[in-house]
Every structure is written in C-alpha cells, then in structure tokens.
Structure 1
C-alpha cells in the first residue's frame, strides 16, 4: 500500500507544477487543457483509484517473501519490532509489532500470541488480524475474543499471574498473523532479552529492538557478535537510544546433539543497573550486589517456633557426625512438607517465612529451602540459600553478566571437606543428590555481603555407572530364559528412579510398553534402593524371550547383545554448522553368560572389538568356557562440547558401536 500511495503522489505531481496542487489559478488553467489531455488525466485518475482500491485490503502476501527465506521454513517472521521505553525505574513500556507467516502445523506455535502479566503489569492488545496466502483479511480478532486466564496450573496455590492468549483456528496454509500490543510495568528486575530467531525452521525478513532510556536510568547491554548495532546510546531528540536490527536471516535446521541456540544466534542481553521492584531496591552491578538484594528478601524470615527448635535439638543430640545430622533434618523435611508454587507479587522472589511453612506444611522452592536453612541454623549448622538455572538443556548463565536468569532455589551446606547440595522440593530425592536437574553448572550462593558464584556437583565417569550380570539359557527351539541384575549408580539412577515408587503390576506393564527386546515375556522385576548421596539401585529381572535366536537349518544365530544394545546412530551431516554436545559422562560394564543348548557347538564367534576416541572407549569380547560363552562389554562415554568438524568422527564412533552390538554368534548342530 505504501508503494501505491507513493505512485499516486508522483502522478499528481507530474500533472501540476510545484506548489500549485491546491492553487485555484492552477485549477482554472486546467480547464483550458485540450480534450485529449483531459481524457488522459481522467484515465490516470481512474487507474490510480482502481489500483488503490484493489490493494487496500491486501497485506503481507506470501508471494513477497524471498525464495531463500522459504527454504526449510515452518514460519517466516515478516516483521518483528519491539520497543522498550524506560521512563523511570517504576515505569516501563514495551510496544510490540509481530507479523508472522505460518506454513504448516509445525509452525503453528509461532502464530500463537501468549502474553503473561500480573498485578505489576498491564497488557493492551491493539491489533490481532489473520490473513490468507494472498494477503486478504480472514479475521479481525475482537478484544472480547482474547483468552484471558489465570496461570493457576493445579500446583500453584498462590499466584496473581495471568496470561492473554490468541490461538488462530486456521486449517489452510499458509496464513499470516499480525499482532500489535503494549505491556506496561511498574518496575522490573530484568528486561526483555532480544533473540529474534528463537526456534529452528524459522526465517526472518526483518526484526528490530529499540530501547529508549528517557531518564538515563542506566542499563547494561551485551550484544553478541552476530548483531547489527544501529544505535548504541546516541541521543535522538534528547533521548538515549539503542537500536539493533536483523534482516534476511534464513531458517536453520535442527542438528543432532545441538548445544543451546543462545550460543549461535543473534542475541542482545539487557539488564538494569539499578532497579525497583514491588517497593524494594536493588542493583545488578555485580553478582555480589544482586545477591545483596536477594539476601534482603530472605533476611529475618528464618524464625521457628521454640517447640520446633527444641525438637530438632533433641532429634540430633545423640548424633556426632554433622552430615548425619543434616540427613536427619532433611528426611524430616521430606516427610512433613510438600511442594506448592508461590507466584504472588514479590512472592515470586521472596519466600514464605519459615514459621509459615511450619504451620501449613507446604511451600515452593524458595520457602522450603529457607525452611530447611532455618532448621539447620537452629542446630548450629550454617547453610546458604542458592539460586540456580535448573533444567537439562537450558543453557548456562553468563558468569560475566549479572542478571536474573535463575528459575530455582536449592540449599548449599558446606561440611569439613565437602559441600552438600539439597533439593528441598522433592519428597523422594536421595539425600544430597542433585541429579541432572541442577548439577554441573554455575549457581549464585546468597551470603550476607559475600554472595558469589559457585559450581554445583559434577558427576563423572566413575559415578554414573551401569553394571550388569546376566545369564541366558537358549533352548533347541531358539527361545531363551534370561536372568539379569543391573546396578544403576549416579545419574544413571535417574533412569529407574520413578520405578522405585511403582507397584509390581505397574512396573511389569511399563516394561512391556518400553521393551526393546522382541518377544519378551516379563515374569518378575524387583528393585533394591540405596538412596545415598551417590544413589544406587539394583534391578533384578526374570524374563522369557520367544525366538531369541534365529534358526536356519542346522544353524542357530544368537545375538551377542540384546540387553544393553546401542541401536541408533546420529543423523549424518556433512555440512554441520554448529558445535555438538554429549551431555553425560558414564560407563557401562556388562557380563553375560550364554549356556549353549544341548546338541549344539560353536561354529563362529565374532572377533574382539576395541574402539578408542576422544568421545569414549568401547570394548567387547566373547570367550568359550566348557558349555558356555561369556560375553563382556565395556562402554565409556565422555561429556563435552565438540566443534562441528568433529561430528563426522562422532557419528563413525557411534556407528561402530552399533555394529559391534549387533553382531551374532553362530551355533551349529553337532
């Protein structure tokens, strides 16, 4: 439409002299024009009118998207314009315009508008339109049609959080959504971090992020090298202005074992230098300064009733070992409390007082951690409230850029020669075991005037182990009876942790659902749990397997590894672009004894296999002993981040393991 309007203006200027468009004398002169010129003029006016009329309801036709931006794209961002206006520490406004074209069901999530808000913010959705492939308006969403609901999820007992949502109900692709909205906040502990490409198979025509700092309140900014900085704090009409833009970014396909996207897409991280939030004041000048603010939220919230203090002292009086005292109190916490999320006002950051948890018996990660801290304090053991970014693929916090990038709280308890980390929200976690949820990452330990970053527990090769012993009795028909015992340690314990709380019937039912042993009939499965700081559990199974071995004439083909078989190879990618990550260091050790069926002898045993790389080590071997064959296998994997040029080597390493695990020995009738 801009081009049509511009065209109209150019044509009118060609028919009049400069400055005479509204001059009466010029109009009078025009009546003296020859008839041919008059007809030409009328034709041009009609042409302009038809052009403008035919285009007035056409917006964002798909035909305007460049071909290179359609490749591998489930969605295309036509324009994304975000403006952050900082009027003061207690008045902030975001203005957002998003136009996105959706090409298939895999891109539908990009077309959903979802805006969270609470008592500290207001949302106004000004425009919500849907267009078809040609750019014709399909629907204009009314404000009464916007879905507005509480964030209550069945677990959060206290929350003032709500969200506004618009979900297009369109089944014909492609279609385009257009949204414009504003969000006003009465202060913020963090600002919007700009990462316009936040999903795979999503391309971008144009995106921008503008910050207007009216009062020069002081903001901290860290753009990565991929960002085009247009303005970097210059004064524009007296306002300190920042502007970043991104144009014509092609869609990226997901690569196997990918590291977090934040490591390789354009991104700008923004945080306040000083802030005011729900009547509190804080600073992010350093991790210590931010920690001081968090400390102010938990200070003086650790009082417990005198009878509870006396009970705790009596409970631990006869125990000399501090670790055992901590364990006793932790088990008490697990027995007497349960997790409930609290997201009410500053309650999203400030815990309930310990006495409140004592009264009601529940709390969120903040409240339960503070309660545990208070109980330990009552028996003379110092511990520290600790913020962490939890999850298995959330990306590390930027240790050089203090910001509120945490989503969970745990308790850090130093002892003489060690540090214990306690997950206070679980009624079942083994004492001192973090698991993959919070281990092996930076965390912010909150200490009065001395808050600092620390590293949580690292679980290595010697802790994340699987050790299996098994016997397999194959009969003349090729069926087998299998008995195996596996000890799971460390992070491998997480694979069976939920089974420890199931009934035997449920365990058997789930075994059939997840079985990777064709023809298996599970008779018994039993567990023995040892919930220590490096937890361990033993699983014992008895199963019968139909057609375990394949018979062909006088020969029987027996798989060497059916109980712990590596069966998948990562997808090849000769043009891999980004680093890849192996997420767990572990080692598996297997020892399986095959009993040779009566009347058979060995015709062929696979050769020993040994593979050594920087990714790990694999060894397997078969040995004949009287009427049995002993198969041993050792598989070690190293955790790490590797450059893209080494991906082909990793694929080959994995392929060789799969090949070795898929081998068969041949038995022949005597």
Structure 2
C-alpha cells in the first residue's frame, strides 16, 4: 500500500517544521567512517496527570550517513489498547534538499506477533519516508497517551548510532515526587524548570554498536538509561525506586494466578507419588512443566506482565515464560514446596543491581530448599537476605538439567518476587565440571596416510543443548548435514558408518554420539616420513581479533572439554618428532595438552577449562594469548619416520 501511494512534496502549510531545520543545521562531529547514521535530535516530554495517566510527546530527527544506515530512517511507533497514539507526523529531507510530508494514508499499521507468540495486541504505526539515502534527514513527531502499569518510565538515551542532542522533560501534578536510577551512565542532575517541570539534557552520546566485536556482551547490557520512579496521592502501589516496591507490585499482580486447582494438585501428587527426597519431588514437577507445557504466548495489555491463571495453563498445556513459572509454583505448592517467581532478562547484564526497574524480558522460578537439606544435584542455589535458600530454575529453558541454570543467566541478576521480602539476587556461576564435552577415539594409521577408527563424544549441560535439539527435533537430513559440516572442518575426505545417538532427551545423562570413520589422506607423505596432526578433531580456539578492546569480554559459559585419542602407527614407523606439551593457566581459563609415545601408539590428551564468563576489557590480551596457544597446539604435527 505504501509503495503504491505517491509521496507528497511539502507545501508551505505542512513544510518541515523549524525544529527539524534547526536540528539539521547542527555541525556534526568527526564520526568514524563506519558510522551509518546519527540522531540529530531526540526530545521527549513525559506528562503525568493526576489520575495516573501519562502523555508522551516525542520529536526525533535522524540523518543518514551511509547506505547501510537507511533502515535508521524507518519509522515504527508501538502501541496497544493501553497506549494509544494520539497523533503522528512524519517528514523528510532528501539528499538533494527536497522536502516531503507524509499524509495519513502513507502511514501504515502492522502487528508484532511471530514465532512462538500466538497473539499479542501490541501493534505499531509505521512509515517508510523517501530520501533515506546518505545525506537525507528523517523526522517524526508523535503524541501517545498511556496508563502505566507501574509508576515508572525509562529513558534509553543510547543506542547503535551516536546521538548529538537529546533531552527528557518530566511534568508531574502538584504533590507528586520522583526519583531516578541510572544504568551504565553516571547520574545527571535535572534542570528545575519550576512548576513541577524537570529537564535532563544529553549531548554527543556515543554509539554502542557491537556488530563487529568478537566475544561481545549484549548491547542492551551496555547502553545508558535513566529510570524515573514517581509517586503521588491516590496512586496505589506507586514505585518508590526500590526492588522491594517492584516486587510488591508484581506480587499483587500474580498472587491470585498462583492458586492450585484440584486438577493441578492431582497431577502433582501423581508425579511425586513414592518420592520422599526433596530433589526427586521437585525435579519430577520441574520436568513436567519443562517438557510437557509448550511455549506459546498470548499477551493482551497487562498480560505482557501478568501471568495467566495456573489452572488455565495446566488445562491448555501451553503458556509463555511467566505462565510456565506460575504453573510450576502452583504445582509445587500443592505438594508442600514453596517457590517464588523471579523477574530476569535473557541477556546477562541488562538488569543492573543498583537500577531498580521492570526492564527485563523473562520470568523464571526460585524453589525454596528445606532447612538442613543438601544434595550434590543442586547447583544453582542462592541465599536470600531472609536466610532462605532457593534453587533457581527456568522451566522454559527445556534443554538445561534440573538443578542447573542456563549459561546466559549465570552471574546475572534477577528480582526475587516475595512480597515484602522481595529483593534483587545474583545468580551463581556454575562449575565447569557441570558443562562438559568428552571425546575419546581409537585410530589406526595406514602407511598410505589413511586413518580408520571410532569416535565417542559425550556432552552434558548447556554445551549439549543444540545437539539435543537437533537429535530430538531435527530430521535425518538435518542431522547428516550437521555431522558432515562438523567433520569437514578437520577432514578433507571421509566416510562414516554406525552412527549412534543415546540419551538425546535425557537431560540428566550424557548425550552420547558414536561412529566409525575412515579418512583418506589424513597424514601427509614426505618420502620416508609421515606427518600427522595428533589432535584428530575438535577445536577449542576462542575467536579473537587484534583490535583495541573497549567493552567487556563475554566468554559465554564455564565449561570443560577433554580429548583422549590413541593412534596406532603403521608397521615399521616410529615417532621421530612429537609436539611439545602445553600447560598454561590464566586464571579465567586453563589449557593442557600432551603427545606421548608408548611402543607403536601415539597418545594425545588435552583439557580445556573455562572458569569465568565475563572479563574486563583489559583482559582481552590474555584471551588473545590463550587463543594463540590453542591454535598453535591444534595445528602442531608429529613426524613419523620409517625405521
């Protein structure tokens, strides 16, 4: 529809406003050559009415600097039934100076639902202005009325492109008060404009664009934001800027949804029948919710925050993350196990411990552990200020064993929702021994350089997630193509037989794959010599570059990888040269390997261990050093000589 509607040159009546031309006239700093676009102006005024509703008025101007920045000129303003767009105007100035003003019929509307979101009422007003080429300027202005679910508003003033001039103005009714918390930026004091008006201004905010950064954290964990919490007479459950107040708000929102129905209680009793151990009882219910409740989201209005009733989730056998956590809590409570909801974000670092807000996109559970109880199977355990111990568990992450927590949440923060006892908690970083890969292989090398043998690989923990998904949900073609791609990284020509998979769906057991392989031309023949790589297959080398590092290093997960390969040499050959052993420990990670000879057998072993998941930027040189050591070892060669 938009493509079929001709754009209209701006007349004097609806020409580009003065605030757009003023923003366009600003002199730009010397940005790096790869800068795609720049925000010339972003001005927001947030006006709160005495009845709790709010009006947001926003003006935004962006200039395109490179062809890769054209998408920055696309306009998309989300709304739902509680956030109504009152007006939206869009203008643009082409690189040739032509001005355009879009008519109402050139502004479209789209829905957001896709993937596992079956339905949600969030939609967006969209526009595709002309002139989105280098040198072009896009501007829009909108006004939106909302009824906030909690008395807070977050100003995100940093993004993927730099911003030249930004401001945020807060207008409150008489008798209202406010406070601010800041994430990834020092606190800035507002300008008091009097009459309950305050204004914050930002200039020359740099971009946070990690597209070309290796081992990168999430951009959302680095961008600056300010959250305003306000309160006034007649507003129930107003946020006072503490985690406790947010937890109390969410407790009121969810408590009646956590009630167990008779059907829920009956199922929980069935699952725990004959089980007396706490872990066994909790794990039985956790496994049910994890595997038998499909992830499907239906979110309407406050339903983006409020879970559905546990009884409805159980009856329908589907729900989103907060629904699954709610059902889990209801089932546990029916057999006498207390639990609580935990508000988190799927990217580590987005939730900042000293910046309380409802920023976050995920919900998990905290299962209270009885006093004095211990089990070697409980790993993701935290202790609250109350002294209660909780097992942190995500019933949505269906390939992480019960008792553990997925890698992207480890080390991060979440809000434990326990009414007046609500608090921010930090999740543990789990031991590398809980996330493992073990490869063993026995091979025979022929005098013509070909290799034959068998390989067994065992995976446990998050390092098995993708392969468990492949071997439980993928078809034969996908599985074959995957194995060919993996082995093709280490063998130029090969064939396999007897491929076998065990325990793909048993999260508490090793995912085990085994097969026989024949690889031609594995060894290189050089007259009376054969040159081989003792590290038969598998690569551990971190992907690094040689750029200056400014952001933290994300190693993603703790883990331990072990290889143990034996190669029987061809008759009449002995080892003339073997790679030197490697033993390096950098604290955050260690790497050991050795190549030894016993008779006519060459034995290669190595252990690679990662103990930390996030490092400061100044540790990047050590990661580069480690990557170089591993790369050198993986490519090292043994020389065999005919006796």
Q: What secondary structure, in the 3-state scheme, does the structure 2 residue paired with 1:194 have? A: strand
Q: What secondary structure, in the 3-state scheme, does the structure 1 residue paired with 2:549 have? A: coil
Select the structure of larger CA radius of gyration.
1
Per-residue CA shift, 1:469-512, capped at 9, x if unaligned?
A: 11232223322224221222223222423133134443112222
Q: TM-score, normalised by structure 1?
A: 0.81
Aligned to 1:120: 82
Distance across 1 between alignment mates of 2:103 and 2:158: 29
Distance across 2 between alignment mates of 1:366 and 1:579: 30
Structure 1 residue 583 and structure 2 residue 556: aligned? yes
Q: 1:455 to 1:76 in 2, by over 3 A?
A: closer
Give 1:344 shift.
Answer: 0.8
Structure 1 residue 453 and structure 2 residue 424: aligned? yes
Q: What secondary structure, in the 3-state scheme, does the structure 2 residue paired with 1:601 have? A: strand
Distance across 2 between alignment mates of 1:65 and 1:250: 18
User: Matches of residues 125-136 of structure 1 in structure 2 within 5 Å?
Assistant: 126-136=88-98
Q: What secondary structure, in the 3-state scheme, does the structure 2 residue paired with 1:402 have? A: coil
Structure 1 residue 506 and structure 2 residue 478: aligned? yes
Structure 1 residue 637 and structure 2 residue 591: aligned? no
Aligned to 2:61: 99
Aligned to 2:227: 269
Structure 1 residue 385 and structure 2 residue 335: aligned? no
Q: 2:196 aligns with which of 213, 219, 239?
A: 239
Aligned to 2:402: 431
Q: 1:490 aligns with which of 446, 458, 461?
A: 461
Aligned to 2:367: 413
Per-residue CA shift, 1:349-384, capped at 9, x if unaligned?
A: 222222222332222222222222212222222222
**Mean CA deviation greater in 73-82 or 624-633:** 73-82
Distance across 2 between alignment mates of 1:260 and 1:640: 13
Per-residue CA shift, 1:384-429, capped at 9, x if unaligned?
A: 22222223xx424222232112322222212223543333335665
Q: 2:532 aligns with which of 558, 576, 595?
A: 558
Q: 1:302 to 1:270 in 2, by over 3 A?
A: closer
Asked whether the 8 Å contact 1:431–1:532 carries over to 2, the reply is: no
Distance across 1 between alignment mates of 2:44 and 2:20: 24
Q: 1:62 to 1:378 in 2, by over 3 A?
A: closer
**Mean CA deviation greater in 582-591 or 620-629:** 582-591
Distance across 1 between alignment mates of 2:570 and 2:234: 77
Distance across 2 between alignment mates of 1:539 and 1:654: 27
Q: 1:530 to 1:503 in 2, by over 3 A?
A: closer
Aligned to 2:249: 293
Q: 1:540 aligns with which of 481, 502, 514?
A: 514
Aligned to 1:148: 109
Distance across 2 between alignment mates of 1:209 and 1:395: 24
Over the aligned positions, Cα root-mean-square deviation in angstroms equals 3.3
Q: 1:154 to 1:250 in 2, by over 3 A?
A: closer
Q: 1:256 aligns with which of 202, 208, 214?
A: 214
Aligned to 1:31: none
Give 1:305 shift.
Answer: 4.2
Give 1:228 shift.
Answer: 8.5
Distance across 2 between alignment mates of 1:577 and 1:182: 37
Q: 1:178 to 1:56 in 2, by over 3 A?
A: closer
Aligned to 1:613: 586
Give 1:60 shift.
Answer: 8.3
Asked whether the 8 Å contact 1:472–1:483 carries over to 2, the reply is: yes
Q: What secondary structure, in the 3-state scheme, does the structure 1 residue paired with 2:257 have? A: coil
Q: 1:650 to 1:437 in 2, by over 3 A?
A: closer
Aligned to 1:39: none
Distance across 2 between alignment mates of 1:260 and 1:281: 32
Aligned to 1:8: none
Per-residue CA shift, 1:303-357, capped at 9, x if unaligned?
A: 4443553454355342222322223333443564322213112222222222222
Distance across 1 between alignment mates of 2:574 and 2:586: 36
User: Matches of residues 28-427 of structure 1 in structure 2 within 5 Å?
Assistant: 65-66=27-28, 68-69=30-31, 71-88=33-50, 90-124=52-86, 126-137=88-99, 139-168=100-129, 172-189=133-150, 191-199=152-160, 202-215=161-174, 217-223=176-182, 229=188, 231-232=190-191, 234-236=192-194, 238-247=195-204, 249=206, 255-261=213-219, 266-273=224-231, 281-306=237-262, 308-334=264-290, 336-391=292-347, 394-415=348-369, 416-417=373-374, 419-425=390-396
Structure 1 residue 595 and structure 2 residue 568: aligned? yes
Per-residue CA shift, 1:441-488, capped at 9, x if unaligned?
A: 222222243222333353222222222211232223322224221222
Q: TM-score, normalised by structure 2?
A: 0.85
List runs of 5+ in structure 2 lacking aligned partners: 1-14, 379-389
**Mean CA deviation greater in 654-663 or 316-325:** 316-325
Q: What secondary structure, in the 3-state scheme, does the structure 1 residue paired with 2:363 have? A: strand
Asked whether the 8 Å contact 2:151–2:231 carries over to 1, the reply is: no
Give 1:545 shift.
Answer: 2.3
Distance across 2 between alignment mates of 1:57 and 1:464: 56
Distance across 1 between alignment mates of 2:62 and 2:256: 49
Distance across 2 between alignment mates of 1:454 and 1:246: 34
Q: What secondary structure, in the 3-state scheme, does the structure 1 residue paired with 2:538 have? A: coil
Aligned to 1:463: 434
Distance across 2 between alignment mates of 1:306 and 1:203: 56
Give 1:121 shift.
Answer: 1.0
Q: What secondary structure, in the 3-state scheme, does the structure 2 residue paired with 1:144 have? A: helix
List runs of 5+ in structure 1 lacking aligned partners: 1-52
Asked whether the 8 Å contact 1:432–1:533 carries over to 2, the reply is: no
Distance across 2 between alignment mates of 1:57 and 1:98: 10
